[in-house]
Structure 1
Amino acid sequence: MYMLLSSLSLSEILFASNISPLMLYALIRNGANISIAGCFTQYFFFGSFGSAESFTLSAMSCDRFLAICKPLHYRLITGPKMCLRLILICWSLAFLVASIPLSFIKTLHFCGTNIIDHIFCDFTPLIKMACTDTSIFETVVSLLSSVVTLLPCLIIIATYSFIIRTICRIPSSKGKEKAFSTCSSHLGVVSVYYSTMVIAYVVPPGHLLVENKVLSLLYTVINPFVNPFIYTLRNQEIKGVIIQYKKEILNYF
């Protein structure tokens, strides 16, 4: 689980670092310049790191499934080598998926305005600047977005249906509470992440441009900021530190 958490943390750090600096600079200066190569590079890494996060979240749900539904086989199945292979597969698929729409975008002919009406170089605002027909590209990207978002989401739903069924069979209430607590953080992150990603990318592009800006702000800035708190609040030591600081603040006032 900690190996998968490390992979998730790395994808979120790279994901936010790819978007946030230029976005903040553009907000401060009321606009920013970026080269065509820089825009394509930002888009490629945005898709790669976002896909890696999605695949890692689905791998984490499989890990929770084995830990709760197959506890006696957990150590045998999920060894360090197996986890490393799983992480490498997630990242390899992520880079592969991101390279396909980039190859399409590079073939487009851009003309007219060179202003990107978005907070970063994303697919929808880029194809808005194209002079050629982009209907085929939009269909392909929608299918890829479904693979990146809906397929992992279905895997998570399937694994958690087995997890919930197994937890309901646990006779003691304490055992049920402990089992649910191991999944609460992951469920919180999954709910926030996929709800925004599905709306932003599975919906046909170009119809919710203004709404996509708000959603993009959520999953590029807010989610990476909130997720560490969601996971660390289950840590007893961090809870103790928060309670201690709370007592000291109350005593001070």
Structure 2
Amino acid sequence: MELLEGINSSRVREFIILGFPGFPNSHFFLFLVFFFVYLLTVSSNITIIALVLVDKHLHSPMYFFISNLSFLEIGYISSTVPNLMVSLLTRNNSISFGGCIAQLYFFSCLGATENLLLALMAYDRYLAICSPLRYTLVMSSKMCIRLATVSWSGGFFIVTVPIVFIALLSFCGPNVVDHFLCEAAPLLQLSCSDTSTAKALLSASATTATLTSVLFTMFSYSCILFSIFRIPLTSGRKKALSTCASHFIVVTLFYTSVCVMYMQPSGTHSSRNRIVAVFYGFVTPLLNPFIYSLRNKDIKHALIKILNRSKNISSQNIAMKIIFQ
């Protein structure tokens, strides 16, 4: 943080996050809403990760990538919501220059990583449905770890250079960020130096992460649908569709909100952008574990098994207490 503030030669040492100006007297209500969303998101995603770790029936490539996505969603929402809740509760909307850049960096990196991870999950479904005989051989545990490592490191690498250029810009004032978090577009509007290089790098990184992932995912699902419609039995088609339905819903939610947010003319940052950012920054991480758990029999069975086991343990403990009393 101090290093970023030292490198930057601007007079601005902190930013004021405008937040939600349309709700001036609803700070505590908004705090409760975001607190509930954050608690539910973190707990549900931790549940998914725990189930995948504990239940041996979930030790497969698909659930390995789902647990990676759950871990990512925890970091994604944790990069913004805690700071937002503190500002709503204390009515203090200021954030240091270093804190703002750090939030921008992690939020952007995790967003880029999610793009790559969703494309990787589409590839996993493509192999499972289009090349089932090669699936186990190709998607070994070592290969899954390598692919996950590539998606995480790739997401952070793609975003690092443009964020560094943004951090090196001069900010002379005003320092009011027209958003509820530190995001690239409103920050670039506040800079008093030439932002053309930063904008070009940011556009290139966003295009690389999003467009490449979208095209790859669309190609994978085109092949999947082509293979499914070649299956003669209706029951076989339903089973094949059910294995990728949850991922397709998650992909549609994420890419739709991201495209609405970023594929619009520059300088149109408005209240609509806040709504879209709330959707892909808060709502999508909240919905993902429920989409996977509600539509997935294996996860539901694993959860029921764990709950029944805990009930049996608690019943045994009660019985032991009664006996020894």
SS in 1 for 2:194: coil
Instruction: Find the partner of 2:258 among 187, 190, 197.
Output: 197
2:273 corresponds to: 212
Q: Please give the residue correspondences for 1:39-118 in structure 2 after superposition, counting only pairs within 5 Å.
A: 39-118=100-179
Asked if residue 238 in structure 1 is aligned to residue 238 in structure 2, the reply is no
Return the offset for 1:98. 1.7
CA contact (8 A) 1:142 1:204 kept: no
CA contact (8 A) 2:172 2:191 kept: yes
SS in 2 for 1:110: coil
Query: Could you give the per-residue CA deviations for residues 161-202 of structure 1, whole angstroms, max 9, x where no partner exists?
Result: 000000000000000000000111001000000011122123
Return the offset for 1:50. 1.0
CA contact (8 A) 1:68 1:166 kept: yes
SS in 1 for 2:79: helix
Return the offset for 1:31. 4.6
CA distance in 2, matches of 1:31, 1:191: 36
CA distance in 1, matches of 2:199, 2:183: 12
Asked if residue 34 in structure 1 is aligned to residue 95 in structure 2, the reply is yes
Asked if residue 121 in structure 1 is aligned to residue 182 in structure 2, the reply is yes
Return the offset for 1:137. 2.0
Instruction: Find the partner of 1:5 among 66, 76, 80.
Output: 66
AA aligned opposite 1:68: I
CA distance in 2, matches of 1:45, 1:139: 20
AA aligned opposite 1:202: M
CA distance in 1, matches of 2:229, 2:116: 27
Percent of pairs with identical residues: 38
Instruction: Find the partner of 1:131 among 177, 180, 192.
Output: 192
Superposition TM-score, scaled by structure 2 size: 0.71
Query: Could you give the per-residue CA deviations for residues 51-99 of structure 1, whole angstroms, max 9, x where no partner exists?
Result: 1111100000000000000000000000000000000000111111121
CA distance in 1, matches of 2:270, 2:162: 19
CA contact (8 A) 2:186 2:269 kept: no
2:226 corresponds to: 165
For structure 2, the 5+ residue unaligned runs are: 1-61, 305-325
CA distance in 1, matches of 2:158, 2:127: 27
1:180 corresponds to: 241
Query: Could you give the per-residue CA deviations for residues 20-51 of structure 1, whole angstroms, max 9, x where no partner exists?
Result: 11122333444522111111111111111111
Return the offset for 1:205. 3.5
SS in 1 for 2:172: coil
SS in 1 for 2:267: coil
For structure 1, the 5+ residue unaligned runs are: 242-253
CA contact (8 A) 1:138 1:205 kept: no
Judging changes above 3 Å, is the alpha-carbon distance between structure 1 residues 203 and 139 closer, same or farther for their aligned structure 2 residues? farther
CA distance in 2, matches of 1:138, 1:210: 22
Superposition TM-score, scaled by structure 1 size: 0.90
1:251 corresponds to: none
Judging changes above 3 Å, is the alpha-carbon distance between structure 1 residues 197 and 31 closer, same or farther for their aligned structure 2 residues? farther
Number of residue pairs the alignment of both structures matches: 241
Judging changes above 3 Å, is the alpha-carbon distance between structure 1 residues 224 and 98 closer, same or farther for their aligned structure 2 residues? same
CA contact (8 A) 1:16 1:220 kept: yes
Deviating more after overlay: 29-38 vs 14-23 = 29-38
CA distance in 2, matches of 1:31, 1:119: 12
CA RMSD of aligned residues (A): 1.6
CA distance in 1, matches of 2:103, 2:170: 19
SS in 1 for 2:180: coil
1:247 corresponds to: none
1:153 corresponds to: 214
Asked if residue 25 in structure 1 is aligned to residue 25 in structure 2, the reply is no
AA aligned opposite 1:238: K
